[in-house]
Amino acid sequence: MSDAEQDCLVSILLPAYNSRHLIGTAIQSVLQQTQGRFELIVIDDCSTDDTAEVVAQFARGDGRIRLLHTKRNGGPAAARNIGFDAARGRWIALLDSDDAYVPERLARLLALADANAADMVSDNLLMMPVGGTPYLLIPPELVQGPQHLTAAEFVLRNIGDPEHPRLSYGFMQPMIRRDFLLAHGVRYDERNRFGEDFMLYIECLRAKARWWITPEALYHYATRPGSLTEVQSSADLLRIARLEAAFLRDPAVLRDTAFCSALRRHKAKIERLYYYRAFTDAVKEGRFGTAGRLLVQSPLSSSYIALETLRQTPIILRKTLRGGYFARTGSTA
């Protein structure tokens, strides 16, 4: 092992695409960390602006920054897999180009991991909607101190409920032990540009990762209308549902009854979204035969489409009144 590998505790992976106006803040937040034993791996995903030059300027001033380039634009999942392969740290951390860490983030999460022999550690997120009011992803009443996160709880906290409609633990940005990822062959599904983090995290939990979370909001998470976190293609949703179906055939998973129950509930939600998305896309594109087949494709498909249509109707009306719905057909609120 080289001196650089021995000295590196955390490899921070930062995919970037046309981020020249935003990425400087993300990089500065890393350079301001109180724990300095890190490397920052920026993966430029074939940007057409001068994102790479902005990063290169930072790299010339700090040897802990490494700039990599993809051969083609493959999205965040593909870029992070390139980062996995290049990483030298004991831990893998994630950062998006429009987000930021607070200065103590790495130090606090490493201490949490050491205290609990964790494979994954994560914090709360301060959600930063553009033009809106910041709010905590995880309300204080749900996590009042450091605690172990079970596989079942993680999945359930991605379903949402009337009291916490905006809650989704899949938005969390955990640090994960690199040797755990290597030992279990866990990587991103590069086909998905929606839900790819959720898929990676449940793969880790399926492999019995010990995940601890803290209520401290050490990550600032920017949200913008039409971002990849909001865009749900029917193909992305179908791959998530199929992954969960495969889990529910795994004898090791079936022994965890709470995890299985949560997966079944989440899978039903994803299937409802899939049928609605596929049906409405077919109607918008004039593929009425496909839309008709989707209505009878499964015993539940028509009811799923009806239920989601009822849920979406007031949202669509609000977007239409703002003039935004038909301008962006891929977004589901």
Q: Specify the amino acid at residue 143.
A: V
Handedness of CA 40, 46, 50, 56 (dihedral sign): positive
Q: Specify the amino acid at residue 305.
A: I
Q: What is the mean pLDDT of residues 136-163?
A: 94
Confidence of residue 109 (pLDDT cuts 50, 70, 90): very high
> Can you state the percent helix, strand and coil of the chain, rounding each to 5?
45, 20, 35
Among 35, 39, 198, 27, residue whose Cα is nearest residue 96: 27
Q: How far apart are CA 259 and CA 247, in angstroms?
A: 10
Confidence of residue 222 (pLDDT cuts 50, 70, 90): very high
Can you count the helices (H) and strands (E) in the chain?
13, 10
What lies within 8 Å, CB to CB, of 46 at 6+ separation is 17, 69, 70, 71, 72, 73
Q: What is the pTM of this model?
A: 0.90
Q: Specify the amino acid at residue 87.
A: A
What lies within 8 Å, CB to CB, of 326 at 6+ separation is 320
- The CATH architecture assigned to 3-223 reads Alpha-Beta Complex (3.90)
Cβ proximity of 124 and 157 under 8 Å = no
What pLDDT shows up at residue 229?
53
What pLDDT shows up at residue 227?
55
Enumerate the domain spans of the chain.
3-223, 234-321
Residue 311 has pLDDT above 60, yes or no: yes
What pLDDT shows up at residue 2?
52
Q: How far apart are CA 192 and CA 137, in angstroms?
A: 23
Summary mean pLDDT of the chain: 91
Among 115, 177, 172, 113, residue whose Cα is nearest residue 142: 172
What pLDDT shows up at residue 5?
56
